[in-house]
Chain A
Amino acid sequence: MSTPLLSLAIWVPIIGALAVFAVGSERRAAARWLALNVALAGLAVTLPLLTNFDSAFVGFQFVEQLPWIPRFNIQYLLGVDGISVLFLVLNSFITVIVVLAGWEVIEEKTAQYMGAFLMMSGLMNGIFASLDGVLFYVFFEASLIPMYIIIGVWGGPNRVYAAFKFFLYTLLGSLLMLVSLIYLFLESGGSFNLIDWYMLKLGMKPQILLFLAFLVAFAVKVPMWPVHTWLPDAHVEAPTGGSVVLAAIMLKLGAYGFLRFSMPIAPDASHTLAPLMIGLSLIAVIYIGFVALVQADMKKLIAYSSISHMGFVTLGFFIFNQLGVEGALVQMISHGFISAAMFLCVGVMYDRMHSRMIADYGGVVNTMPKFAAFFLLFSMANSGLPATSGFVGEFMVVLGAIKANFWVGFAAATTLILGAAYTLWMYKRVAFGAVANHHVKELTDINNREFLILALLALCVLGMGIYPFPFTDVMHASVDNLLKHVAVSKL
C-alpha cells in the first residue's frame, strides 16, 4: 500500500497538537518552535498530493478505506479530487502563516493557542478528505470546538457573546444535516458512502427537502445572507489568527459542502432552487457591499467584504457552467490568500495601536511605508485588480454569469465598483493623509517576521493572478464530471 498521504495530512497536525499541549505554555519558545515544525510538516505531507495528483483522472485519488463502525457500515473513507485537493494544501499553508503570525503576539497560553490551530488544521483537512457521510459530519462538527475556544479564550472583550453566537448558529445548521445524512443512509439501503449517494435515485420532494436541509447547514458556514450576522461579530472578537483561519478556510467548508453534497445528491432540486441560490448570492454581493462601505471597524469591514466575496462563490456554483464553478473555486482559494492577508494587515496595526477603528488611524504610510505597500497590494487584490488572484475568480464568475443570464452578470459585476469603493476608501482613511495623531506617529514598520508572512502571501496573490492556469488545470476533470453528473436527472 502506498503512503496514506491523506491520513498524514489529518493526523500529523492533530498528533502534533497534542505534543504541543504536552510541552505546555511554561516553555513558550519550545512550544512555538514545535508548533512551527508541526505546521511545516503538515504542509510538507500535503505537497505530494499536488505533485502526484493526476489531473486527467476522473474520480477520487489517494483513496484510503477502512471499516470504522461496521454495525452501521460507517467507514474511514478518504479521497480527494480536483475540487478538494487544493483546499488541503491551502489549509496547511495557512496554518503555517497563522503559527508565524501568533509568534510573539500571543503571550498567554501560547501552547494551547498554537495547539488549537494545529488541531483545527487537521480536522479541516479531514473535512476536505472525507468521503463518508458520518466521518465528514464528525470532522465538520469537531472543527467548531477549537474555533469556539480560540474566540472564547483569546478573543476581545465581547468574546463570549461572539463565541456563543458562532457556535449556536453553526450547530443549529448542522443538526438538520445530520437528519439528512440518516435519511440518505436509510434510502441507500445502509450506506454512508458519498459515492453511493451520488448514484441514488431520489424523487423531487425528498431532493428539495434534502437540499434545504443541507442549505441551512452550509449557508450558515459560507455565510450566505441572511444567516451571516454571526461572522462580523466572530471576526471582531477573534484574535488575528482566528480571523485568518475563519476567513481563509472555515468559510470554504460551507461552499465545499454544496459541491460535495447538495449538487450531486440532489441535482434536480439544485436546478429547481438555483434561482433562490442566485438571488441570495446576489444579495450577498450587493447588499453586503453597501453595508461594508459604512463600517467603522476595519475587521467588520473585511468580514462583510468576505461575505460579499463568498457571494461570488455560491453564485458561480449555481449558474451551472464550467466558468462559473471553476471561477468559484478559484475565488475560494484566492479569497483564502487575500482575506488572510487583509486580517493579518489589520492584526499588524492592532498589535501596535490596540484599535481596529478606522477613525483612529490616518497617514500610516508615513510611519510604516513597507507595511503600507503590502496593505495596498492586498487592498487592490480585494478590489479585484487584474494580475492579482482576486481578479481571476471574479472575472470567471462574471463571464459565466453573463453567459447564463445577462442581468445576473450585470448585478454581479457591480462588485467592480462596490469592492473598490469600500476597500480603497478604507485604505485612504487608514494609510494615506498626514500623520493623524501621536499614536500613528510612534508606529514602527513591520519586522522581519511580519515581512516574511506578508511577502509569502503577496507571492501567492500575485502568482495566482499572473498564472492561474495550473489551478484550473487541476480542477477541470472533476468539475467537468460534476457538471455532467448534475445535468442528469435523478427522478
Chain B
Amino acid sequence: MKSLYLIIPLAPLFGAIVAGLFGKAIGRAGAHWVTILGVTVSLVCSVLVFQDVMAGNTFNGAVYTWLESGGLKMEIGFLIDQLTAVMLIVVTFVSLMVHIYTIGYMAEDPGYQRFFAYISLFTFSMLMLVMSNNFVQLFFGWEAVGLVSYLLIGFWYTRPTAIYANLKAFLVNRVGDFGFLLGIGLVAAYAGSLDYATVFGKSKELAAMTEAVTGWPLITAICIGLFIGAMGKSAQFPLHVWLPDSMEGPTPISALIHAATMVTAGIFMVSRMSPLFELSEAALSFVIVIGAITALFMALIAIVQTDIKRVVAYSTLSQLGYMTVALGASAYSVAIFHLMTHAFFKAVLFLGAGSVIIAMHHEQDMRRMGGLRKYMPITYLTVLIGAIANAGLPPFAGFFSKDSIIEAVALSHIPGAGFAYLAILAGVFVGGFYSFRLVFFAFHGEERFRQPAPEAHGHAAHDDHAAHDAHAHDDHAAHDDHGHHGPVEPHESPKVVTVPLILLAIPAVCAGWLIGPMLYGGWFGDAIFIAPEHHGMAHMKEEFHGVVAMVLHGLTSIPFWLAVSGAATAYFLYIVRPELPAVIKQKLAFPAMILEKKYGFDEFNEWFFAGGARGLGRGLWKGGDQTIIDGVMVNGSAKAVGWFAGVVRLFQSGHIYQYAFSMIIGVFVLLTLWFNRA
C-alpha cells in the first residue's frame, strides 16, 4: 500500500516535469496526454486508497528524514486517514476534469505545455499538503501551492493586471504564512515535535501552558497563528483581497485552484488541527467571527459585479466563509462536507463561466451577454445546476452542506455564534440572489451581445477588458481572427469542455446525498476530534432521519425561503423588470459605491501597506544609510581626518621663522604660567 501512497503525488509530478522541461519535444498533445495520464493514475490510486481507508486501514509513517536538529526530527511522511482520503478524491477528480477541460480552453494558447506542467505541479503540491503527517511538509505544500498559484495567475505575463495580481496574491498569502510559521514555531518550541500524532498526543499539556515571554495561553496563540495562515490561503477577511484579483489567471485554474482545491487548504488544515482548536474557546470564537464576516460581506459584493468570473469569485469567498463558520462551530466534518460539495458545484460554475467566455470570444462582462441559453444549452444547464447548488436549494448538493452549517451554528454556544448565525442566514438570501442573477443576467433576457459595445463601461472591469484586448492582439495572434467585441454569434463549446462540465454537474447534484454516512455515520473516525462540551454535532445526529426527511424538513425552514426569495428577487429584477437595477443603483448610490469599491480594502492596502513600506524603505535608505551612516559617520570621519590633517599641515609650513616665532610664543606662555603659579 505504501507504494500506492507514493504514486499518488509522484504521478502528477512526473507529468509536470515531463511537460515542463520537455514540452517542446513532446509537443502539445504529448503534454496533455502525459499530464492527464499522471492525474488519472493518481485518481485511480486515490480511489483504491479511499476504499482501503473505509475498510479501516489508516496509515501514518515517514518516507524520509528531511532534517534533524536540536532534537527536532523533521520528516517527509504520509498520514492516510478518512480526512485525507476525502481530500484525495476531491483534489484528483476536480484536477482531472480541469486537465481535460484545459485541452479545449487553452487550445489556441502558445503556453499550452507550460500550462499543463503548472496544473500538474499544482496537483502534486496539493496532494503533498493533504497527505502530510507533519507540520513541515504541510508548510511545504502550503507554500508550493502558493507558488503555482503565483505562476498561474501570472500565466499571461504580458498583462499588467495579471502580474499585479499574482504578486499581490503571493504577498498577501505570505502575510498569512507569517502567522502560520509562528504557530508552527510555537508548536515546535513547546511540544518538541512537528509530527501531528506526537503534537496531538500532547494537546492537553499544551492547553495547560502559557507562552513564556508573552504570557498568552499557549494553545490559543498556536491556533490563532495557524488560523492566520488559513485566512491567507482560504481568503478570509481581511486577507481576502487577493482572490478576486486572481481571476486574471486562465479560467481552468480559477476553477481548480481558486475555488475547488487550494483555497480550501485552510479549511482542511483547521479540520486536521481539530485536536488543538477544540481546546481553545477563544480561537474558535475568532474563527467563527472571521468566517461570518467573510460569508456575508463578500456575498454582498457579488451582487454588484458584472464580470461573470468575479461574481463566481466573490461567491467563492462567501462560501469559504461558510466553511470557516462551520469550523468555528466545531462542525469540522460539516466544513469538509461543504468543502466537497462546493468543490463540485463551484468548479461547474467556473468552468461554465469559462465556456461562456470562450463562446463570447473572451468577453467576461455580463452586460454584453444575455439570452445565451438557447445557443449553449449544455453550458446553461450545468451552470443552472451549479447556481441552484450554490444557492443551497434542495435536493442539490449545496443544500445539505449549507443547511448543516446553519444548523451547527445555531447549536453552537461559542461567543460570536449568535452573530455568525444572523450573518450566514442573511448570506443565504444574498447567495440565492447573486446565483440566480448570474443565470438570468447571462443566459436569459435580451441578447445584448449583438449591440455595439457601449461607450463607457463605467466599471473597474473596464481595465480588465483593455488588458484582454491587448492580450488578444499582442501575443495571441490566434485570437485576432475572432475580431473585436463586436457582434458575435455564440456557440456551444466543444466536447472536451462540455464533458467535464457534465461530469462535475453530476456530483453537484448528488454529492449531498452522502450526508448520512459522511456526517453522522462515523465516517471520519478518529481523524477529527470534537471536545465533549461541543455537542452540536451529536445533537444534529439525533435529529437526522435520512436524506428525504431532511429535504422535506428543509422545505419548511427559514434558510430555504430566504434562498427562494433571493432567487425570486433576481427573477423580478432581471427578467420581469430589467430596467429596475439601474434605477435602484441610482437611488442607493452610496451603498452601491461602497460595494463596487469592495469596502475600499484595495485602496487602503495600496496606500497604507504598499505605499507605507516603500516610504519607510526610502526613509531608512536616504535618511539612515546615506545621510547618517555614510554621510556623517563614514565620509564624515574621512572628512574629519582630512580637516584635521589640513589644520596640522598649517604648522608644518617649512619656514624656519614660523617655527622660531611659534617657539618664542610658546616660551612666553610657559614662562607666564610658571611665574603666575599659585
Task: Write the chain A residue with the least CB distance to B172.
Answer: A417
B214 at the interface (CB under 8 A from A): yes
Contact at B618–A294, with CB atoms within 8 Å? yes
B177 at the interface (CB under 8 A from A): yes
Task: Write the chain B residue with the least CB distance to A373.
Answer: B20
Contact at B614–A293, with CB atoms within 8 Å? yes
Contact at A291–B620, with CB atoms within 8 Å? yes
Contact at A416–B181, with CB atoms within 8 Å? yes
Contact at A399–B189, with CB atoms within 8 Å? yes
Contact at B158–A433, with CB atoms within 8 Å? yes
Asked, given contacts A399-B189, A417-B175, whether A327 binds B620 with beta carbons under 8 Å apart, the answer is no
Task: Write the chain B residue with the least CB distance to A429.
Answer: B163
Select the stretch in B136-144, B299-307, B357-365 that faces chain A. Answer: B136-144
Partner of B157, one of A169, A421, A425, A432: A432
Per-position 1/0 for A317-330, Cβ under 8 A of B: 00001110011000
Contact at A400–B70, with CB atoms within 8 Å? yes
Asked, given contacts A402-B188, A433-B160, whether A293 binds B617 with beta carbons under 8 Å apart, the answer is yes
B72 at the interface (CB under 8 A from A): yes
Asked, given contacts A165-B634, A434-B158, A468-B66, whether A292 binds B182 with beta carbons under 8 Å apart, the answer is no
Q: What's the tally of chain A residues with a CB closer than 8 Å to chain B?
A: 59
Interface residue SS majority, chain B: helix
**In whole angstroms, how far apart are the Cα atoms of A359 and B64 in the complex?**
45
Partner of A420, one of B70, B136, B170: B170
A188 at the interface (CB under 8 A from B): no
Question: CB within 8 Å of A: which of B133-181?
Answer: 136, 139-140, 143-144, 147, 150, 154, 157-158, 160, 163, 167, 170-171, 174-175, 177-178, 181
Partner of A399, one of B143, B154, B163, B185: B185
Q: How far is the CB of A64 from the nearest CB of chain B, in Å?
A: 30
Residues of chain B within 8 A of A434, CB atoms compared: 158, 470, 474-475
Task: Write the chain A residue with the least CB distance to B143.
Answer: A386
Question: CB within 8 Å of A: which of B56-109?
Answer: 64-72
Contact at B188–A403, with CB atoms within 8 Å? yes
Per-position 1/0 for B205-249, Cβ under 8 A of A: 000000111100000000000000000000000000000000000
Question: CB within 8 Å of B: which of A402-448?
Answer: 402-403, 405-407, 409-410, 413-414, 416-417, 420-421, 424-425, 428, 431-434
Q: How far is the CB of B166 from the nearest CB of chain A, in Å?
A: 8
Contact at A326–B70, with CB atoms within 8 Å? yes
B377 at the interface (CB under 8 A from A): no
Contact at A472–B67, with CB atoms within 8 Å? yes
Q: How far is the CB of B9 from the nearest CB of chain A, in Å?
A: 13
Per-position 1/0 for A27-60, Cβ under 8 A of B: 0000000000000000000000000000000000
Asked, given contacts A396-B69, A416-B177, whether A433 binds B157 with beta carbons under 8 Å apart, the answer is yes
Select the stretch in B541-549, B572-580, B625-633 that faces chain A. Answer: B625-633
Asked, given contacts A294-B617, A366-B158, whether A421 binds B171 with beta carbons under 8 Å apart, the answer is yes
Residues of chain A within 8 A of B185, CB atoms compared: 398-399, 401-403, 409, 413
Contact at A468–B633, with CB atoms within 8 Å? no
Residues of chain A within 8 A of B68, CB atoms compared: 469, 472-473, 476
The 8 closest A-B pairs by CB, nearest first: A402-B185, A322-B70, A290-B617, A294-B617, A323-B70, A403-B189, A432-B163, A293-B617
A-B contact pairs, 30 of them (CB 8 A): A165-B634, A291-B620, A293-B613, A293-B614, A294-B614, A295-B621, A363-B158, A365-B157, A385-B143, A385-B147, A387-B144, A391-B143, A395-B136, A395-B181, A398-B181, A403-B185, A406-B186, A406-B212, A409-B185, A416-B174, A416-B177, A417-B178, A420-B171, A421-B174, A432-B158, A434-B470, A469-B65, A469-B68, A472-B69, A473-B68
